[in-house]
Amino acid sequence: MSMGAEFDCLFCKIIQGKVPSAKVYEDEDVFAFLDINPVNPGHTLVVSKKHFINIFDVPEEELKKLIVVVKRLSRSIKEALGADGINIEMNNEKGAGQLINHIHFHIIPRFEGDGLRHWPGKEYQEGEKEEIAQKIREKLEE
């Protein structure tokens, strides 16, 4: 956990009630609220009440608490809005689009024809897939 960072963190201020939000869920460890710039209506952010930057520094026990709430809220959001599906997103670090350095999941309700496009797929070069899979397996063993 980054000490001191929470004093400048927008999400910490939202959790503390210093910045207004449209809260949809709160328990001892997790806070969820509507995104102020939603992809679709009902786009919800699920955050830890403790200040962790992203997936790389959050303890597994805290991550488990978050993902359980993400699952529960996903069902509620889908049913409440009559969505055709749900996207769950998490951006980790600037290069992946993380704008607020406080761990959070996006729950985005999806509707047929909503215009949101998924990322383009790319093909592997000859032998590249096996090489990359091996590198990942090696890092898991470290």
Is residue 139 classed exposed, middle or buried when 0-12, 13-18 and 19+ CB atoms within 10 A define those classes? exposed
* Catalytic site includes residue 43: no
Kindly give, in sequence order, each residue whose CB lies less than 8 Å from that of residue 93, ignoring residues fewer than 6 positions away: 54, 56
Looking at 51, 102, 104, 106, which residue is catalytic?
104
Question: What element of type H or E holds 106?
Answer: strand 104-110
Catalytic residues: 104
